[in-house]
Structure formats: C-alpha cells, structure tokens
C-alpha cells in the first residue's frame, strides 16, 4: 500500500510539473512559430521573380488553349505540373513544342524538365466557355523551387468560333502566392506532403493548444469505470477519427476555395480570436466545476438512446466529441500552420488538401491513442486526483485564451493577465498554506515560484512593461534625453494605401525601405521590438527612409502590390532606390538585428 501511495504522489507531482512547463510554453509561444524550422530564413536575392523566370502568354481559339513560356536561362518547368483545370475537370496538354530533358529531381525523383521556350496546346472541347485555371510549377538549377502557380485563361467554346476571334493575352496571376512557407512545401511529392503534415500533427500535440484536450479524452473516452487496453484503443481511435475527419473536411474546403479564401488573415481576425478565447475560458470554467461540460440535453439523450445507454465512452458521442475538440482547437492550430494551409489552397487540389489535413489530425491524435490505450496504467485510478487534474487543465485553458488574446490586446494587458493567472494558480496549489509532508513541500515549491513570477509580472505590467520573459525590464527613462527616448521608436512612416506608398517610392531621394506588417504576424512584432526599435539599428540606417505597409486587413491593392513584387506575406522588407527595387537587398522572413543590419549596409551603404 505504501508503494502504491508513493507512486500516486509521484504521478501527481508529474501533473503539476507538466502544468508549469505548459504555462511556460504558452507564454513564450509569441516568440516562436512551429514552422520556423521548416522555412527558409531569407529568400535568395539572386533568384528571379516568378514572372521573370517563367514569362507566360496564352491564346484561346476554337476548342483550344495554347500557353507559351520563355523560361530564363537556368530555370525549368516540370512536365507533370502543367495542366488546365475547370471545376473537377483536369486536362493535360495534347502537344508540347519540345520533348524535354530527363532530370533527377530531389523532390519528385525522375522527371521531365522543360528549359528555354515551351509551347503547349490543350484540347478544351470538354470545357465550358469562360475561365479555366492554368497550373504550372518550375524551379531554378541553383536550388530554388517556386510555389505552384495558378493563372486565369479564357476558354472559347467550339460553337462560338464564328462569333469570336482568337484572343491573346499576357497572363496576370489570378491569385497571389501567400506565405513564405510555400517554398518549403512546394516541389514535394504527394506522399512527402502528407508525411510532413503527419509530423507537424505530432509536433502540435505537445503545444498548449492541444494539451488542454487531454482531460476531455480522459473524461469522455475513459469514463469513470475501468477500461481495458483494447477498449481504450478503440474508443480513443474513434475520438481521434472524429478529430482527423474534421481536419480533412477543412483541407477539402481550403483546396476547393483556393488562396482567395485568405485563410491566414481570416483566422487571425479579432472576432475569431475573441470567440475562441471565450470558448477556452468557458471550458476552463467547466474544469473548475462551475458547470458540467457535456453536450446539449437533446443531443445527449439521442446519443444515449443510439448507444443503448452505455456509461462512459459511448462510440457515437466519443466521435462527436472528437469533432468538437477539433473545432475548438482549430484557430490555435491554424496560426502556426496558416502558411501550410494557404499552400494547399494554391494547389487547388482538394484531394491533397483533404489528405494532408487528415494526416495532420492523425498525427495530433497518435499520442492520444497511446494515452487512451495505456490509460489504466499511465493515469491514477479515478478518485480525488481527477478534481486536481481538472483544475490544472482549467488553468492551461485560461493560458491558451490569454495567448490568443495576446494578438489583439496591448502587450501590457497581456503581461497583467499572465501575472494574475500565475498568482491565482500558485495560491490554489497551496503557496500560502503549511506543507505537512514531502509531496506537499514539492508542490508548495512550484506554487511559490508561480506566486513570485505572478507578483513580478503584475509589478512589471503596472510599470508599463510588456515582456512575459522579462517582466521587470525597466521602462523608466527619465535619465534619457528626449532624443534618446525617440530613438527607441522605429522611425516608420506607417501606411495602408499602396498609392501613397508608390508616391513616396517615386519621389524620395533617399533609398526607401518598405516593411510589410500585419497585426496577426508574430514575427513582425518580434522584429519590431528586437530589430527596428534598437537605437544602433536606427542610427546605422539613418540614410534610409523607413516605410511600413500595414496589410492586416488585406485589400485588393495590397494583393496586387505584393503579387507584383513577389512578396508572399509579412514579414518582408523591400528596398527601393531612385524608384526601382534593389532586388539583391530584399529580405524575406524574420532576421536578427545583426543579420538585418549587415545585410542592408552591404547592399545600401551610407556612402552611396
């Protein structure tokens, strides 16, 4: 009995340690994205924009569409990535102007590549008159693989040949290529993309956005009674299947809607963040026992009848809870995965989108299946511990709500909320109570650390500080001169109008730096604080006009300007001199202070 009691105490310590670690992970997520490891830090400035690498024109006539590329030297198109699509119909070219060159490609294996000029013809008699989408993708020998491209072309039906002349046009991109994560996903085979999403799902399982779903699994799937390993496996698999199929449906939707859905920006709009932060807060109240977390009575009674009143993990109700869990977690997951989702939208491939997001859900659910299968041995027996664990996950849910609100609330308010959360949780763990045994002393130690951090965060917030990792960093600047205080603010001219931006670029005598910014872009905020507001950076780049284009609420002119300059999304920094872009100076993605300063001064020195 003593051994068993000691084992239970060790498990309880583990849960409380998990809480502290997860809170630390949640508070620091604003400083790092999950996909950072998969994306290139900067774009290679020597590569041509896609429109110059693969200049394209098209012509349409009686039942035919002809596309012609004049590829730049060292650039090639993939044969298997050229096709014409209208709705569910996909057409491969009927003829090619060249045989192509066999090439061993790192992404696709053995492929046919087209260098230099290429002309292809499509037989469009099976298509309706109107618009179709021409898909193509190319790479550079130097190592860059461009995202899949989608271009609008006109289709003229055979019967209208007498009424319509042949039309020729220079293609303009139908949609912008959004995030810079595309460059890592594109050029990969179907199996590779699906595998990547499965691995991403595994990684997301251990983020604070998914960990709070564990108590739902334990309470809904395992129930209150004893569950065998086999039954636990089947129930947890049912739960995960509901979650994964929900993601698959999202992938199908993204694949069908295309990039015009603007998934990244939509999922970061304030009302979406507020709604889901509210949902997490409501779930937290349920964990604290304010109300019972369950389906509406009508649905619950119907499910009870369908499942013959089984207690605990009921097959259909478990499946439904898996669906609901995916819906609750989705805005939190989509923030780091927005780039990948928009990549799926640019492919226009519903099958790929559904398969990739299904793999994502299965990856997220794999550890949950392990937990459900081995729950009898991993988790303590049902009892008083469940109330402690529910309270623990209630705190985590509130942490996730704060993290979501951190994208729209002032940073000082967010620090204040983190302080209150840590303080309350520390007190609830017994920081102010007497410890009577070894296990209580260990828990009290964790509690005192939380109370100390919470107090520091509250004091820091009241002083105007905003960094959860440095809550007491001094903001007191009375000893500084007015000029020194001004130097801590980035000297940007902030705009939302592309017309005004183009006027500045054309008229400014100095070089112009254009920084693409969005409120929902975490990396933008990191660079704002760690790079642009640093006095030595401001001094080093004093010979440059700083302009910031806010694309938080992306408009048609924003999209057109970004598309014109091959900008996939923020953060991106372009540099102009005498009205023309200095393409070798551009920076794509987050950069450190030293990287940014050295790069800019190398291409735009003060002496120029």
CB 167 within 8 A of CB 365: no
- Among residues 520, 588, 522, the alpha carbon closest in space to that of 551 is found at 520
pLDDT value at residue 584: 81
CA distance 495 to 64: 45
Helix (H, G, I), strand (E, B) or coil at 383: coil
Residues 6+ apart with CB under 8 A from 335: 33, 267, 268, 520, 522
For the entire predicted model, the pTM comes to 0.49
Backbone phi, then psi, for 80, in 5-degree steps? -75, -5
Task: Check: CB of residue 398 under 8 Å from CB of residue 410.
Answer: no
Distance from the Cα of residue 219 to its chain's centroid: 30
Q: What's the CA gap between 251 and 257, in Å, rounded?
A: 10
- Beta strand 75-78 with 138-140 is antiparallel
Nearest C-alpha neighbor of 137 from the set 71, 64, 59: 71
Average pLDDT along the chain, 608 residues, taken 10 residues at a time: 45 49 45 37 59 88 88 91 86 90 72 92 86 88 76 73 38 38 52 81 68 62 59 83 83 60 58 79 78 59 52 66 69 52 58 79 84 64 62 79 79 90 88 80 87 91 82 57 51 90 91 87 78 89 92 82 76 88 81 87 78
The DSSP annotation for 160-223 comes to: GTTT---EEEE--BSS----TTHHHHTT--HHHHHHHHHHHHHHHHTSTTTGGGHHHIIIIIS-
Residue 268 pLDDT: 60
Taking the C-alpha atoms of residue 42 and residue 36, their distance in angstroms, rounded to an integer, is: 12
Per-residue confidence (pLDDT) for residue 226, from 0 to 100: 56
Which residue carries 């642009």 as its tokens? 532
581 vs 313, 577, 586, CA distance in Å? 61, 6, 9
Alpha-carbon span 352 to 424, nearest angstrom: 46
What pLDDT does residue 26 have? 45
pLDDT of residue 308: 47
Q: Nearest 10 degrees: CA dihedral of 518, 522, 523, 528?
A: 70
DSSP H or E segment with residue 149 = strand 149-155
CATH code for the part of the protein at 50-175:
2.60.40.1250
List every span in the chain annotated with CATH 3.40.30.10. Answer: 482-603
Pair of tokens at residue 286: 């349920």
Q: What CA–CA distance (Å, rounded) separates 459 from 412?
A: 11
| Lookup: tokens for 255 | 């694949």
Separation CA 573–CA 567 (nearest Å): 9
* Strand runs labelled E in 389-507: 493-495
Residue 304: left if φ>0, alpha if ψ -120 to 50, beta else—which one? alpha
Q: Where are the alpha helices (DSSP H) in 258-349?
A: 263-267, 270-287, 297-306, 315-347
Residue entry with tokens 């951090």: 453
Q: What pLDDT does residue 342 have?
A: 52
Residue 406 CA to residue 408 CA, distance in Å, equals 6
Tokens of 219: 């309470």
The pLDDT score that the predictor gives to residue 418 is 92
- Say how many residues make up the chain: 608
- In angstroms, rounded to a whole number, what is the distance separating the alpha carbons of residues 265 and 536? 33
**First CA to last CA across the chain, in angstroms?**
80
Distance (Å, rounded) from C-alpha 208 to C-alpha 396? Answer: 7
Closest to 338 in 3D by CA, of 525, 182, 183: 182
CA atoms within 13 A on the CB side of 449: 12
Task: Tell me which residue of 483, 476, 426 sits closest to 451, measured CA to CA.
Answer: 426
Tokens of residue 181, six digits? 């994560």
Could you give the CA distance from residue 592 to residue 177 in angstroms, rounded to a whole number?
A: 25
Burial 28-51 (b: 16+ CB within 10 A, else e): ebbeebbbeebbeebbeeebbebb
- pLDDT per position as a tens digit, 345-388: 555 566 777 788 888 888 888 888 887 777 655 555 555 566 67
| Cβ atoms within 10 Å of 16's Cβ, excluding its own | 19
Distance (Å, whole) CA 586 – CA 473 = 33
In the numeric block, which tokens belong to residue 516? Answer: 């693409």
| pLDDT at residue 39, as a whole number | 37
* Nearest one of 404, 400, 399, 402 to 425, comparing CA atoms: 399
Supply 64's token pair.
């035919």
Residue 69 pairs with which residues in a beta bridge?
A: 56, 118
- What does the pLDDT read at residue 607? 64
Distance CA 32, CA 399 (A): 17
DSSP string, 486-519: HTTS---EEES-HHHHHHHHHH-SS-EEEEEE-T
DSSP state of 147: P
Q: How far apart are CA 251 and CA 514, in angstroms?
A: 34
Query: Comparing C-alpha atoms, which of 433, 438, 558 is closest to residue 501?
Result: 558
Fold exhibited by the domain 482-603: Glutaredoxin (3.40.30)
Parts of the chain belonging to CATH 2.60.40.1250: 50-175
Helix ranges (DSSP H) in 463-591? 482-486, 498-507, 522-527, 535-540, 556-564
Angle, CA 106 vertex, CA 102 and CA 108 arms, to 5°: 65
* Dihedral, 263, 346, 147, 516 alpha carbons, nearest 10: -30
């Amino acid at each position: 009995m003593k051994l068993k009691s000691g084992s239970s105490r060790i498990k309880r310590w583990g849960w409380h340690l998990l809480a502290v670690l997860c809170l630390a992970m949640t508070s620091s997520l604003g400083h790092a994205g999950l996909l950072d490891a998969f994306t290139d830090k900067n774009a290679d400035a020597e590569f041509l924009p896609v429109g110059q690498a693969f200049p394209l024109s098209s012509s349409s006539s009686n039942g035919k569409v002809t596309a012609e590329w004049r590829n730049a030297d060292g650039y090639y198109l993939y044969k298997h990535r050229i096709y014409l699509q209208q709705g569910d119909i996909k057409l491969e070219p009927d003829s090619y102007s060249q045989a192509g060159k066999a090439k061993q490609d790192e992404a696709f294996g053995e492929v046919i590549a087209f260098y230099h000029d290429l002309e292809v013809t499509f037989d469009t008699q099976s298509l309706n008159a109107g618009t179709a989408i021409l898909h193509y993708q190319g790479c550079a020998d130097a190592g860059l693989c461009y995202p899949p491209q989608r271009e609008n072309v006109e289709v003229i039906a055979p019967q209208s040949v007498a009424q319509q002349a042949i039309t020729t046009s220079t293609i303009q991109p139908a949609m912008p290529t959004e995030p810079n994560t595309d460059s890592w996903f594109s050029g990969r085979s179907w199996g590779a993309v699906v595998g990547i999403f499965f691995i991403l799902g595994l990684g997301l399982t251990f983020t604070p956005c998914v960990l709070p779903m564990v108590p739902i699994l334990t309470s809904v799937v395992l129930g209150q009674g004893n569950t065998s390993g086999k039954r636990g496996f089947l129930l947890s698999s049912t739960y995960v299947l509901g979650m994964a199929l929900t993601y698959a449906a999202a992938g199908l939707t993204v694949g069908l809607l295309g990039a015009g859905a603007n998934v990244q920006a939509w999922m970061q709009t304030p009302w979406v963040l507020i709604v889901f932060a509210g949902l997490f807060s409501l779930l937290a109240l349920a964990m604290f026992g304010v109300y019972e977390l369950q389906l509406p009575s009508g649905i619950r009674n119907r499910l009870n009848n369908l499942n013959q009143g089984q207690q605990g993990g009921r097959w259909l109700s478990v499946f439904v809870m898996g669906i609901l869990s995916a819906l609750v977690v989705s805005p939190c997951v989509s923030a780091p995965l927005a780039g990948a989702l928009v990549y799926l939208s640019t492919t226009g491939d519903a099958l790929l989108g559904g398969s990739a997001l299904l793999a994502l859900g299965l990856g997220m659910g794999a550890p949950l299946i392990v937990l459900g299968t081995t729950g009898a041995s991993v988790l303590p027996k049902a009892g008083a511990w469940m109330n402690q664990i529910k309270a623990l996950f209630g705190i985590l849910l509130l942490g996730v709500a704060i993290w979501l609100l951190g994208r729209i609330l002032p940073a000082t308010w967010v620090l204040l909320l983190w302080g209150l959360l840590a303080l309350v949780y520390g007190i609830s763990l017994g920081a102010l109570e007497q410890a009577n045994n070894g296990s209580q002393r260990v828990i009290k130690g964790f509690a005192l650390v939380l109370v100390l951090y919470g107090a520091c965060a509250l004091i820091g917030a009241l002083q105007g500080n905003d960094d959860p990792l440095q809550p007491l960093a001094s903001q007191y600047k009375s000893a500084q001169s007015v000029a020194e205080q001004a130097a801590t603010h980035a000297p940007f001219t902030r705009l939302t109008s592309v017309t005004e931006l183009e006027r500045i670029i054309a008229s400014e005598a100095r070089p112009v730096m254009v920084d693409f910014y969005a409120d929902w872009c975490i990396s933008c905020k990191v660079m704002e604080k760690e790079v642009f507001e640093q006095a030595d950076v401001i001094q080093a780049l004093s010979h440059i006009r700083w302009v910031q284009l806010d694309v938080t609420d992306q408009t048609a002119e924003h999209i057109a300007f970004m598309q014109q300059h091959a900008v996939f999304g923020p953060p991106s920094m372009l540099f102009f001199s005498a009205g023309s872009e200095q393409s070798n100076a551009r920076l794509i993605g987050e950069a450190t202070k030293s990287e940014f300063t050295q790069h800019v001064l190398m291409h735009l020195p003060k002496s120029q």
